[in-house]
Structure 1
């Protein structure tokens, strides 16, 4: 967590240890920085307070990558090597020996796995009831538990779980056909953007717009919009996913879009809200994560 008053004329005096006593969601390095940020934070404090009341619920996600998916005392490098994906594509940053200078990956990155071990196409059936853990997900997607995809899919599956908690009523509304998500502080996720295409399977009747906001986003890509029109593809050249990827039409409306915003959330929030209140976004559900 960074000081919410950072960059306001004076340097931070130390670590941000002074939490807002009302919401507890933002912190400051000093009284002076807290005072300088008071006007801006006053507008958001109540909203943050309501969100922080759900912290206990959202801190217990069933879709974090679990060591239960690894063999006893097996290292992550060994696990990835046995799966044949060690240091490949999106997997390159999943162990300590990955590249030291990561950069945004292409959305055309694939799973580097055979089709029976990854979700490279749409599901064969809809979700009959809410997914409660990895066993449910793997069974629904017809993938064996030996597949390593949970390592990358915990990003979209955590979003799925958070949205189920935060806005169940809105999701069930017939008028809610678009879902807008504010995703704060992405880092390694920026190297695995193709995995977020799984959101189209998790929310098949929604258009999902993901706003990624954080200082790790390169300045040159601030404001960039990324369309995920197909699922991340497998390594089998004869699989249908390869043909569907090639036939994706540029400019075609994608069910999952990502927009990148460089900076801290409290600095960019006003801009995002101004866009949010445009009439054509009036039916979007804004789930803050």
Structure 2
């Protein structure tokens, strides 16, 4: 379904601007707004590709698993709860970004996934360079394809679609260097979260997670974690139970929007994929 050749990795990693472009023709990437509103919640990559009118051989999932993780985490964290569907602003605290920092334009797809909602994402982690600490990035357009004559090159056409314009559902990213429990007070002066998302967390492998788990428990808001394999999630669940005294609230489950490229040179003798399994508290 997907090829691993680096020419298909969609954004130029040397350019960190929110104006990055897909290195793909328009028929293979979501360079403008969707043609129609989602009739139901997306449940897998096939649903997403059909909704965005993309062929299954498009490689965009190699990057879009990050915004789709945010989307799906919201679905499972607030399942059955009223009020979230009607919110006009959504605040997400995204812990531990690394590779995402070179592909931030991928988060522009949140405009399509949350039509009419302004999305505020605080990306917090030690991998953020010192010089980028506090940097704010506003994404009010979709990343363009490589076609010079594509309609995505016209901002007025790009934003005009069957769904609410990206202008009304713009994404704001802010970068914060450091551990979440150290930066929490600074962040919440501007942004108290509806949800915490931690991709490929590795909770059992890093002792620095323990004070963060304690903090999330005190905050009493939902948090969704992902990891590369199911065993890592079970180890993390034990760590969380030892800190909080409670079992995880969202059971370990396969992420239907995991990245479809296996992790190479893994020390484990089992298949590992980025954002492969999910669980939450």
Please confirm whether the aligned pair reaches a TM-score higher than 0.5, indicating the same fold: yes
CA contact (8 A) 1:214 1:261 kept: yes
Equivalent in the alignment of 1:257:
172
CA contact (8 A) 2:21 2:144 kept: yes
Other structure's SS at 2:116 match: coil
Give 5+ residue unaligned stretches, structure 1.
Answer: 1-68, 93-102, 278-284
Equivalent in the alignment of 1:287:
195
Structure 1 residues 216, 245: CA separation in 2 closer, same or farther (over 3 Å shift)? farther
Equivalent in the alignment of 2:120:
209
Q: Which deviations, in whole Å up to 9, do the C-alpha atoms of 1:49-87 show, x marking residues without a partner?
A: xxxxxxxxxxxxxxxxxxxx33xxx6x23xx44xxx36x
Structure with the higher fraction of residues in helix conformation: 1
Q: Which deviations, in whole Å up to 9, do the C-alpha atoms of 1:210-236 show, x marking residues without a partner?
A: 000011111111111100010011001
Q: How many residues align?
A: 189
Residue number among 133, 153, 162 corresponding to 1:222 in the alignment? 133
Other structure's SS at 1:180 match: strand
**CA-atom RMSD in angstroms:** 2.4
Structure 1 residues 166, 126: CA separation in 2 closer, same or farther (over 3 Å shift)? same
* Equivalent-residue separation in structure 2 for 1:194 and 1:181 (angstroms): 16
Q: Which deviations, in whole Å up to 9, do the C-alpha atoms of 1:124-164 show, x marking residues without a partner?
A: 01111111110000000000001100101000001100011
Structure 1 residues 205, 140: CA separation in 2 closer, same or farther (over 3 Å shift)? same
Larger relative CO (CA 8 A, sep 6+): 1 or 2?
A: 2
CA contact (8 A) 1:230 1:245 kept: no
Give 5+ residue unaligned stretches, structure 2.
Answer: 160-166, 198-281
* Equivalent-residue separation in structure 2 for 1:152 and 1:179 (angstroms): 22
CA contact (8 A) 2:114 2:169 kept: no
Deviation at 1:274?
Answer: 2.9
TM-score w.r.t. length of structure 1: 0.60
Deviation at 1:276?
Answer: 3.2
| Structure 2 residue 183 is the aligned partner of structure 1 residue 272 | no
Equivalent in the alignment of 2:152:
241
* Equivalent-residue separation in structure 2 for 1:207 and 1:153 (angstroms): 19
Deviation at 1:123?
Answer: 0.3
Deviation at 1:257?
Answer: 0.5
| Structure 2 residue 69 is the aligned partner of structure 1 residue 158 | yes
Structure 1 residues 143, 256: CA separation in 2 closer, same or farther (over 3 Å shift)? same
* Equivalent-residue separation in structure 2 for 1:253 and 1:172 (angstroms): 17
Equivalent in the alignment of 2:201:
none
Structure 1 residues 254, 134: CA separation in 2 closer, same or farther (over 3 Å shift)? closer
Deviation at 1:166?
Answer: 1.2
CA contact (8 A) 2:118 2:168 kept: no
Equivalent in the alignment of 2:100:
189
- Structure of larger gyration radius: 1
Other structure's SS at 1:259 match: strand
Deviation at 1:273?
Answer: 2.4
* Equivalent-residue separation in structure 2 for 1:216 and 1:246 (angstroms): 37
Q: Which deviations, in whole Å up to 9, do the C-alpha atoms of 1:188-231 show, x marking residues without a partner?
A: 00010011000000000210000000111111111111000100
